[in-house]
Amino acid sequence: MTRERLFTPGPVELPEKVRETLGRQIIHHRTEEFRKAFLELRELFKKLIGEPSENLVFFSSSGTGAMESVVLNFFREGEEVLVINGGKFGERWLKLAQHWGLKPVEYKVEWGRSADPERVREILKERGCKGVLFQISETSTGAYHPTPEIGQVCREFDALCVADAITALGVYHIRPSLWGLDVVVGGSQKGFLLPPGLSTLWFSEKAEKRLSDRAFYFSVKRELSKQKEGQTAWTPAISLLLALRESLQSLLEEGMDRVEKRHRAISEGTLRALQVLGLKPFAQRPSWSVSAVASERAEDIRRELLKLGLRVAGGQEELKGKIFRISHMGVDPKDGLMLVGMVEVALKRLGFQVQLGQGVKAYTEKLLELGLW
């Protein structure tokens, strides 16, 4: 049986170097070998985001663990925070804030739309929130929130700018200081091209001044003191950390400007191809990490692609059956071309009136136009 190919927004396809690392015999974490590898990993991550600061920790958890750590470590019970809620993961910020006794002020954004920085400014002027919590790339809707613009507004009001970059790190060339970000959260199974189980948390000097000790396992202070020395407070996800070192080396060898250009081209090429085939992008301002595609027959298309050996994701909650989502994380331009061709086949088999080759032509022309080929 042919192995199915993943075009889902996490987990994603694993590169060969990552699979090789994960397949090796495990090493013990209280050794010099691990310490050296871990310190090297920290340096690579700092290069990835262009930040020399040591304010960086890894947790053995999904990205939600690092999100919870943000709420517990940088905010205090009873404080108001502005939550930009434009999808399933915006809702997660809201639920975490409510659970841990913060007072979230919800800026509800229609699913598929992007946040308006001017609206963020209005709310901060009115409420004086201690922080703004949002997604760079809202995975559930395929929408991008204008991050540098939101960061600038946060600077104006001295609010912590907290960005869930779980489907943005390893895709966008994120530069926290330049963009005005104070806390950046990441997860392993997205643009870092690893299995689930590892999360990252970087924070600014401004955020450091607000560190508290409300957390136990997810304590940033406890982890940071250990991790700066090449160790961890608790047993780490050893294999994932070693594999992340390989993944970051590959991203840096390609160069983050090139990585971003590749994702942009594949995203825009895919959406142009699908539009030519009669489908519609769902997001007003699409993320380069994942494309959400609207169709009354979204679930039929998803199932037909699965029969052809390609797994894409369906919609969540209110979008179930209304969209399907295609990940571009870890995708080679040639893989994107193959996907478009298989979408044509799937649509043809479902009775759509499509001309085979139209989508492939549109995809190819877009990548040529953007200088990727």
Q: Angle CA(176)–CA(182)–CA(188) in degrees, nearest 5? A: 70
- The domain total for the chain is 2
Q: Tell me the residue range of the domain where 311 lies.
A: 255-369
Q: Mind listing the pLDDT tens digit of every residue in the chain (373 residues)?
A: 568 999 999 999 999 999 999 999 999 999 999 999 999 999 999 999 999 999 999 999 999 999 999 999 999 999 999 999 999 999 999 999 999 999 999 999 999 999 999 999 999 999 999 999 999 999 999 999 999 999 999 999 999 999 999 999 999 999 999 999 999 999 999 999 999 999 999 999 999 999 998 999 999 999 999 999 999 999 999 999 999 999 999 999 999 999 999 999 999 999 999 999 999 999 999 999 999 999 999 999 999 999 999 999 999 999 999 999 999 998 999 999 999 999 999 999 999 999 999 999 999 999 999 998 8
Q: What is the Cα–Cα distance from 53 to 83, expressed in whole angstroms? A: 27
Residues 236 and 121 in one domain: yes
* Domain containing residue 261: CATH number: 3.90.1150.10
Residues 202 and 302 in one domain: no
Residue where a domain stops, chosen among 219, 254, 289? 254
In a domain, 156, yes or no: yes
In a domain, 339, yes or no: yes
In a domain, 2, yes or no: no
Q: How far apart are the first and last CA of the chain?
A: 33
Residues 229 and 206 in one domain: yes
What predicted TM-score, i.e. pTM, was given to this entire model?
Answer: 0.97
Q: What is the Cα–Cα distance from 292 to 285, expressed in whole angstroms? A: 11
Residues 6+ apart with CB under 8 A from 288: 137, 144, 171, 172, 260, 263, 264, 266, 267, 268, 328
